[in-house]
Structure 1
Amino acid sequence: MDTSKTYLITGAAGFIGFYLSKRLLEQGCRVIGVDNINDYYDIKLKHYRLEQLQSFSRYEFFKADISDKDMITKVFEDYRPSIVVNLAAQAGVRYSIENPDVYIQSNIIGFYNILEACRNYPVDHLVYASSSSVYGSNKKVPFEESDVVDHPESLYAATKKSNELMAHTYSHLYKIPATGLRFFTVYGPLGRPDMAYFGFTQKYFAGESIKIFNNGDFQNDLYRDFTYVDDIIEGIERLLSKAPSDTVPHKVFNIGNNSPEKLMVFIETLEKCLSKSIGRTVTFNKVFEPIKPGDVPATYASTALLQQAVGFKPKTSIEEGLQKFTDWYVEYYKI
């Protein structure tokens, strides 16, 4: 990594933002973090992540919302970041059905503010989070970056597709080198409690049933391309120094595991890993319900473009990744 550059990471108290900041700081980079610490999930976890980062001398943090244009402009003006990684966003597919306002505020207006700041204070590279949800219910698998993504199934997906269009336009008009990353179901220690694997684990220890939204249809079970967080960070880190230089300097990459798992296999693996972590057999009490609006039957990433660009493809198996998660969970929650 180029340690002479200043890296600005939005969503720095978030799951991916935390791990990326930590990786850069460990290599001696100067990192400016921005996060609004919203209460979409337990903020204790966000504060815990931040505490880890604040032990580094080259880290500075601002509690701010990217939808606050003046504040974002000031951070750019004061620190002149060379590389910006926009990971701040309102996450969650189902939540976007109940709370559409925050998605427009954060994912559309907030991202517009970041683009404007990159235009007025030129950067070497803007990297931003898109999502596998842009593929909607595309039938052709694996999903390739060249596939048509005009049929989002949720407002969340629509905002992420909008980000890609906005970034492309700004790259075209103002030559901002920008790279969009379509993340596929990221999991791991210190992850997001709103994600299924985390919620299932919490429910087990609370003595509650877990809800599985696949109609109990094991033949046509949901498939997910679960991607371990370290693989995501490795992919981002390699791409940071690879700013696009085409006529329109904008590219989009999938970062996924390239090997989708049935949801039920994932759940059985989680049970096994949790059993190992606590030294007794764990079986979730399962309740099957219809698939939720906005959910898609399968996600499956083609990682050929990523491999071509940076010589890397995610490789952590769900057995290995979930074991690391359950070991962390048991220790963190002192079970």
Structure 2
Amino acid sequence: MFSSLSGERTHLRDRIRQVTDTDFEAVALDLFQYQARHNPVYNAYLHHLRRDPANVQSLADVPFLPISFFKTQRVLIGDADSQTTVFASSGTTGATTSRHWAPDLALYDDVSIRLFEARYGPLTNYHILALLPSYLERNNSSLVYMVQRFMERSGSDLSGFYLHDTAALTNHLRHLTDAATRSNVPSRRVLLIGVTFGLLDWVDATPDLRFLADLPGLVVMETGGMKGRRRELLRDEVHAILTDAMGVPAIHSEYGMTELFSQAYSSGAGVFQPSATLRIRLRDLNDPFHLYPVINPAANHPERTRQTGGVNVIDLANLDSCAFIETQDLGQYVGTDGSFRIMGRFDNSDVRGCNLLVL
């Protein structure tokens, strides 16, 4: 069908950029066949599992690559050169970090902007304030890169990053709140996106942030991340602390990681919706090759709706690496549309810098 590897890739890339719910599985299966043939790490993994790609007829048959391979292997189709961007996870002190080669930043930009705007509307409607200490101190954070692209897309001169000067962040938010109150018709909403320990440190150090309740359309979004800076908390605990301190009705969340080029978002209660290019499948905790079905919570089996499983991610934006990742997160399905909660992490896994929870 295709005369070259590049022609096949271009065709898949176009389909990924335009994917819909209706054709998600078809695109994912074609992407699996492409990566099974051309990704040497994934090909070797399938070989050792004795899994013939020709026998994979549905997503239930697809083997997921353990995320730890990103720490020890270059998970990439083709060769990297000195110009190829490499993102690295933050990890904890002394830990081996994951590395994700990104030869197609334009695809990453396109997908991440599409996913955000599908949930929250055009970025041109926002001032974006980012509280990402530690991430800003590195030059290879995919989260910082994504937020930079969001700021550029927004075109707002009032957007910006904050490292340790949280007093400046507070003053800026007061200014925006006062301006919105005076005009009574704010020209833009405010997206405050922050790593979890940074947001908690900020509210601890700032006695009065409840003026934020008067800022119309404010979106406070945590990205996870304690990095050993604080005691690990459940997401519900974090959200309770932040909503009480700021007077906002809900805390939004982003689910993403270095090994993924797609994101999922939660507008509250820690419930993430699947996005155009990202789906999850829950696996049995003892048998990683057995996937749980999505269960209707209205059915007469409430105990099964609370079933916790390992989180497998299908990320179509991982065109040049591997789209089928077995993470070390624990999750639960919420409803029948693929929505999910992240419940924690496996006991024997590393505490990741970009994750919030540890059971």
Q: Normalized against structure 2, the TM-score is what?
A: 0.37
Q: Normalized against structure 1, the TM-score is what?
A: 0.39
Greater Rg by CA: 2
Larger relative helix fraction: 1
